[in-house]
Amino acid sequence: ARKLETMLGVKKVIIIPGDYEKRPEVLKEMGGKAFEYIKGCISDKSIIAVTGGNSTMAVAENAKAVDKKDVIVVPAIGGNNERHATQANAVAEKLASKINGSYYPLYLPQNISEEMLKAMLADPNISKVVELIGRSDVFIFGLSTFDQIAKKRKLDEETKKYLQRKGAFAEAFGYYFDNEGKVVHKSGSIGIKIEGYDIIATAVCIAGGLSKAEAIIAINKGKKKNILVIDEKAGEQMYNIMRGV
């Protein structure tokens, strides 16, 4: 873990034994360990932003009550009204109920035009949540490889080709990154802004499995405040990739 911290330039790497792709229960342990770390970062009036996904849901499901006052949990990115069990709104709701915090949902389509966005931001309920997201001090996120997100979002061929031409390699919180970790595209949705990333005190990335190793490197490299919670399999693969093996 120390070696990976140095190679990646992140604050901390927590490695959970096992292979998440072969043993799904490893994710539960990752979620529990991630929450243990996060718990120490929560203070009175903390604002926690979460993205959707199985990894972040594992954190929410393994969370426990926190002895802090007025903690708020918000989705880090607008979700549509579909009740996806692991959507950001669902993860935020679950986490808030576990830690006895308040929860504010954000119902917005993932891909939305600028005009619609402006109109929706005029709604005080929406602008309040957007403002809370902008002030979050703890951020919990997962990530996907390009192939995983293309499947999940059912991207059409044209969009896929366009993103591939731009070098899209991995996706996290509504942004597509190339293999150097540069943003190449943003899906038009309201949420955590990459420009505001630097003011977040604690950013916890939870991701596992061999297939995600390269994406984990691309998105986290050089992010000094990131805490990474990964499984052993991803860790080994990342170590080999960065050593150029």
Residue pLDDT, tens place only, 74-129: 999 876 555 566 789 999 999 999 999 999 998 876 667 778 878 888 889 889 99
Selected residue with higher pLDDT from 42 and 117: 42
- What is the layout of strands, in order, in the sheet containing 170-172? 144-145, 170-172, 175-177, 183-186
Please give the Cα distance from 78 to 126 (Å, whole number): 10
How much of the chain exceeds pLDDT 90, in percent?
78
What kind and span of H or E run contains 74?
strand 72-75
- Identify the three-state secondary structure at position 105: coil
Amino acid at position 176, single letter: Y
pLDDT (0 to 100) of residue 94: 97
pLDDT (0 to 100) of residue 78: 77
| 3-state SS string for 135-164 | CCCEEEECCEEHHHHHHHCCCCHHHHHHHH
pTM equals 0.94
Partners of 175 in the beta sheet? 172, 186
Nearest of 187, 40, 225, 195 to residue 133 by alpha carbon: 195
